[in-house]
């Protein structure tokens, strides 16, 4: 078996490194484009339909606040109507 030694020249080294660089670049490009596309589509959909994504806990908290405001308003209205009745009697 004969062994033959070959030398790399600068062009061979650059071509091997370049192909590795292009492979990594292509992988990063595909990942970035997929991420960017999904982000763009979600932004467009949110703007078109005016949809604000919320967590379930935020929805519950908002309903609780709305319920508290309604009960306070009804209590204030009862108190106000009671004051009017007292003024009419005097």
Enumerate the domain spans of the chain.
Answer: 9-52, 54-90
pLDDT of residue 90: 46
Specify the pTM: 0.37
- At 61 the pLDDT is 83
With residues binned 3-state (H G I as helix, E B as strand, rest as coil), the percentages for the chain, rounded to 5, are 80, 0, 20
Helix (H) or strand (E) holding 51, with range, is none
Q: If you count DSSP H runs as helices and E runs as strands, how many of each does the chain have, helices first?
A: 2, 0
pLDDT surpassing 60 at residue 35: yes
- The C-alpha atoms of residue 24 and residue 31 are separated, in whole angstroms, by 11
- Answer for the pair 78, 86: CB distance below 8 angstroms, yes or no: no
């Amino acid at each position: 078996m004969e062994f033959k030694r070959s030398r790399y020249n600068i062009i061979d080294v650059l071509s091997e490194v370049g192909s590795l660089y292009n492979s990594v670049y292509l992988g990063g490009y595909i990942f970035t484009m997929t991420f960017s596309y999904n982000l763009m589509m979600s932004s467009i959909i949110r703007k078109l339909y005016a949809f604000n994504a919320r967590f379930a806990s935020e929805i519950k908290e908002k309903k609780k606040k709305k319920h508290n405001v309604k009960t306070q308003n009804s209590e204030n209205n009862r108190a106000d109507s009671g004051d009017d009745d007292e003024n009419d009697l005097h």
